Amino acid sequence: MDLFGSYALLLAFLCCLYAFGGGIAAIITRKPLLIKSARNAGMATCVLVWLGFGSLAYLFLSDNFSMAYVVEHSNRTLPTFFKIPAIWAGQQGSLLFWSFLLSIYVFTALFAYRNKHPELMPYVGVVLAGVQIFFLTLNNFVTSPFQVLGAPAANGALQWISRGDGQGLNPLLQYPEMVIHPPALYSGYTGFAIPFAFALGALLGRYPGEKWIHLTRRWTMIAWAFQGAAILLGAHWAYAVLGWGGYWSWDPVENASLMPWLTGTAFLHSVMMQEKRGMMRVWNVWLVFSTFLLTIFGTTLTRTGIVQSVHAFAQSTIGPWFFSFIALILAVCIAAYWKNRDYLRSDNQLDSMVSRESSFMFNNLILLVACVAILSGTIFPVLSEWLRGTKISVGAPFFNKVNLPIGLFLLFLTGVGPLLAWRKTSIESLRRNFGYPLLVGIAAGIIAVAFGLREFYVTICLILSVFVTLTILQEFYRGARVIAARNGANLLSSAAQLTMRNTRRYGGYIVHFGIVLIFIGVCGAAFNQDKQMEMPVGAQMDIGPYHLSHQDFDSTPETNYTSEKATIAVDRGGKQVIMLYPERRFYPANQESGTMVAIYSTLKEDLYVVYAGRSPDTNQPVIHAYINPLVKWIWLGGAIVVLGTLLALVPNQQPVLAIRGAAEAVVPGMAPTPATIPITRREGHD
Amino acid sequence: MTKFRKLIPVVSLAVAVVFSTGMLQGQSSDRAKTLGSKLICMCNCGQILTACNHVGCTRSAAMLKEMDQRVASGDNDDLIIQSFVQEYGEAVLAEPPAHGFNGIAWAIPIVASILGLGLVVVLIRNWRHTPVPAPAAPGPSISPEVLERARKQADRETDD
């Protein structure tokens, strides 16, 4: 099976070379047969990559310990469920996993548009093949997962050997989230390759109009949703596994996943200006380029270990490959832009500084400043060491200080932007849309301060959260009221109808509401409390409203690990609310330990209990308990963001305006002019 | 013998748990916690000193103990932080100092904000002053009746 996998990847590489070279020849010669064969080679590449990945999965599931990679990341007692994340636990497997997920996107795109957009698709195919060539080069020649174990024989020659068992999977990865988080993250990373390929293809081919934007909108949203979900799953994993009481530590690898999400968010907003007004063409193309470059940069940080990170599971010397690839992409993008910059000239003009366009510009500015701040903070230690030879740290306090005001301004724009009119917004409209929500928001802030809230940023966040929530509710209410008045349905069902009529717009509002919940949850961190003490069986601890009593402590050998587990009874107001079992596991296969945090989670707060080990002085168990307010709101907000995005992907139930047929009937035989096209079907996020 | 073998993982776990964990010195004072939150654990995990409890950390316990001792000895905050910098270098600081070369890290977001804001304002001003292009065609190819119907539908669906 290892040979099968190796050959599949090698064939995939050759097919990909053909798809790339044949695609370029097809673009030059315009021969339909060549176009078709290049496309088919692209699809064959994908199928071969799937076979290669499938054979690696088989090697893991069948405990083939003649393979070096399987030995390093699995063992016989590892549950089958965790043999799945073991496939991408190391560098070789994760890069093949990158290729695998990318090939799913590439195949889907090539297949879905096989008979469409003949002017654009050859360019798209070439760009995608170029990206695949890079990863297949790594998979085949630089860091192959199909290397067999060898040992020198008596005659000095190297002979294949097989080990009885493997070294096991990193304990940090033996959690259900780790089965979902990396695929979601990589689906986000690889998914941005599609809009990148369409943007670069459209630029290279000078594809007319905004078609590429329409074609890639759903792809971008899917990648964006995956990326967002992955970031939150990663945060949840860090929260539940690392046991330090937090969910986001501004670690370089966390930052690497956030940056393309930020530029992707900026793109999803500014793209509306291009769709509606033909503006921001240069900007949008560069946002897509930057997003893709940041995804490669993120993979570089995770896989090369150039920065210190608890998440950088693989450290290696493949950095130069990645940096060369980033430089190559950048050079191609700059050259393509420079050669075709006149193609990107914008048409439209603006009537007022207070308009939807301006709010999108500011939204983009804020998102990009956040991205620049995070990027500079992430790479600054490397720069400092490189330029001055002095190692410095840029930790969470820096990122919090810089990003808090940025985030709050973004929250403000989340409420303001969608309610501003295109081109110009009147004072009356501002008053009507924002007066009441702003007043209620300020009132909420005053009440909170009166009740003792003294955190400046939390107060501002509270005011803005109330403001944004009310603007969103107001939008639903107004629209639902119109529908309810017309068809007599109740407000709730009218709101559902309203949402389904313009899923993109109202799905967007739901996403914004999810973001508000995340902000509220993050604000809870200002009121975190923690307490750590030695707790022999029978000992008690009081933290916040909770009373913890240590009832039992045991060590149990399990199939794959041995656990030390504390049994903690949690009382509140004299009534037992839950039993918690914080534990620590020791994995003999790789001589490593892992934490299992016990969490009692409510909407108000999480009681987060860690068994931190035994005291070196007394050998008694040490329990570290935290009260983390509002954390559940973050996960709830994340789920709502994903839900809203999925909703925005659903086609509208009926066109908001359907007059094309009528227009064509009135002027028979006349080709539709630009004036008729925009009002035939309105699907935009208005 | 078999029983003894069964005990090996349990004993290993106990040993591993005792020797592989940090922050087991009981509760630090609030001041020590505040100061600890300004430092990075030097075990290469890149985490804040008071937050580093990852399995296998060999440094945080010792650093926190040192912090507690210095706080107890009555040193002022600056002196304590400086003593850590002298011992571990600038890398122990959780955020770079705002002066000298490290000041660049703080300046970048500010400069990016100012430049970005300037760019946005200039772009918006330019767009506002761009003349409206004259329509190439004499008018839309939609009949007034259809347009009126569309307007009414839009009014119904968007107005209060």
Q: What is the pLDDT of residues A545-590, one digit of tens each?
A: 999 999 999 888 887 788 899 999 999 998 999 999 999 888 887 7
The answer on pLDDT for B89 being more than 70 is yes
Confidence band of A33 (pLDDT split at 50, 70, 90): very high
CA–CA distance, A508 with A356 (Å, rounded to integer)? 15
Beta bridge partners of A579: A569
CB proximity A536 to B under 8 Å: no
Domain termination residue (choose one: A602, A632, A662): A632
The answer on pLDDT for A658 being more than 80 is no
Bridge-based pairing state of the strands A158-160 and A150-152: antiparallel
Span A296-325, average pLDDT: 76
Please judge whether A482 and B156 are an interchain contact, meaning their C-beta atoms are less than 8 angstroms apart.
yes
Instruction: Tell me, yes or no, whether A501 lies in a domain.
Output: no
Among the residue ranges A154-163, A281-290, B37-46, the one predicted with the least confidence is: A154-163
pLDDT recorded at residue A321: 92
Instruction: Tell me, yes or no, whether A231 lies in a domain.
Output: no
Specify the higher pLDDT residue, A489 or A541. A541
Q: In chain A, how many domains are there? A: 2
User: Which residue is associated with the tokens 């017309």?
Assistant: A486
* CA A602 from centroid of its chain's CA atoms: 26
Span A264-278, average pLDDT: 88
pLDDT recorded at residue A660: 43
Span A76-84, average pLDDT: 89
pLDDT recorded at residue A312: 53
The first and second tokens of residue A350, run together, are 């603006």
pLDDT recorded at residue A153: 76
The answer on pLDDT for A607 being more than 50 is yes
Q: Which of B52, B146, B160 sits opposite A244 (nearest CB)?
A: B52
pLDDT recorded at residue B155: 56
The answer on pLDDT for B5 being more than 70 is no
Query: Which CA distances in Å does A45 have to A58, A114, A517?
Result: 20, 15, 43
pLDDT recorded at residue A391: 83
Q: What percent of chain A has pLDDT over 90?
A: 57
Dump pLDDT digits (tens) for A626-639. 999 999 999 999 99
pLDDT recorded at residue A565: 92
* Three-class SS of A597-660: CEEEECCCEEEEEEEEEECCCCCCEEEEEEEEECHHHHHHHHHHHHHHHHHHHCCCCCCCCCCH
Dump pLDDT digits (tens) for A195-227. 999 999 999 998 877 788 888 889 999 999 999
Confidence band of A54 (pLDDT split at 50, 70, 90): very high
Nearest-CA distance A428 → chain B (Å): 14
Nearest-CA distance B70 → chain A (Å): 20
Cβ contacts of B39 within 8 Å, gap of 6 or more: B48, B49, B63, B67, B81, B84, B92, B93, B94
Confidence band of A596 (pLDDT split at 50, 70, 90): confident
Instruction: Tell me, yes or no, whether A573 lies in a domain.
Output: yes
pLDDT recorded at residue A337: 94
Instruction: Tell me, yes or no, whether A682 lies in a domain.
Output: no
CA–CA distance, B154 with B157 (Å, rounded to integer)? 5
Chain B residue nearest residue A357, CA to CA:
B124
Mean pLDDT across chain A: 87
Nearest partner of A216 among A131, A275, A298, judged by Cα: A275
Q: Are A373 and A406 in contact (CB under 8 A)?
A: yes
Instruction: Tell me, yes or no, whether A598 lies in a domain.
Output: yes
DSSP string, A488-515: ---HHHHHHHHHHHSHHHHHHHHHHHHH
Nearest-CA distance A368 → chain B (Å): 9
Confidence band of B149 (pLDDT split at 50, 70, 90): confident
The answer on pLDDT for A62 being more than 70 is yes
pLDDT recorded at residue B62: 85
Dump pLDDT digits (tens) for A323-337. 999 999 999 999 999
pTM for the structure as a whole: 0.86
Q: Which of B55, B108, B116 sits opposite A376 (nearest CB)?
A: B108
Instruction: Tell me, yes or no, whether A420 lies in a domain.
Output: no
Dump pLDDT digits (tens) for A371-417. 999 999 999 988 898 898 888 889 899 999 999 999 999 999 998 88
Confidence band of A674 (pLDDT split at 50, 70, 90): very low
pLDDT recorded at residue A273: 84
Dump pLDDT digits (tens) for A464-477. 999 999 999 999 99
Dump pLDDT digits (tens) for A526-543. 999 988 889 999 999 999
CATH code for the domain in which residue A575 is found: 2.60.98
Please judge whether A394 and B105 are an interchain contact, meaning their C-beta atoms are less than 8 angstroms apart.
yes
Span A250-264, average pLDDT: 93
The answer on pLDDT for B7 being more than 60 is no
- Residues of B whose CB is below 8 A from A557: 6, 9-10
Instruction: Tell me, yes or no, whether A267 lies in a domain.
Output: no
Residue A619 domain boundaries: 527-632
CB proximity B86 to A under 8 Å: no
DSSP element (H, E) containing A462? helix A456-487
Please judge whether B13 and A242 are an interchain contact, meaning their C-beta atoms are less than 8 angstroms apart.
no
- Residues of B whose CB is below 8 A from A365: 113, 116-117, 119-120
Instruction: Please name the residues between 89 and 148 in chain B that touch chain A, using a CB distance below 8 Å.
Output: 89-96, 101-102, 104-106, 108-109, 112-113, 116-117, 119-120, 123-124, 127-133, 137, 139-143, 145-146
pLDDT recorded at residue A486: 86
